[in-house]
Homo-oligomer: A and B are copies of this chain.
Amino acid sequence: MPQGQPSVVPDDGLTTRQRRNRPLVVVHTGVGKGKSTAAFGLALRAWNQGWPIGVFQFVKSAKWKVGEENALRVLGASGEGGTVDWHKMGEGWSWVQRDIQGDNATNEEKAREGWEQVKRDLAAETYRLYVLDEFAYPMHWGWVDTDEVVDVLRNRPGTQHVVITGRNAPEKLVDFADLVTDMSKVKHPMDAGQKGQKGIEW
Within 8 A of B (CB), among A111-169: 128-129, 161
Point out the residue from B38, B46, B67, B71 that lies within 8 Å of A34, measured CB to CB.
B38
Across-interface contacts of A5 in B (CB, < 8 A): 195
From B6, B49, B74, B180, A190 is in contact (CB under 8 Å) with B6
Q: Mark A164-202, 1 if CB is under 8 A from B, else 0.
A: 000000000010011111111111111111111111111
A97 on the B face (CB < 8 A)? no
List 13 additional contacts besides A3-B195, A180-B185; criterion CB under 8 Å: A1-B201, A6-B194, A26-B200, A27-B186, A32-B182, A34-B34, A37-B38, A44-B68, A45-B198, A45-B202, A48-B68, A74-B74, A179-B189
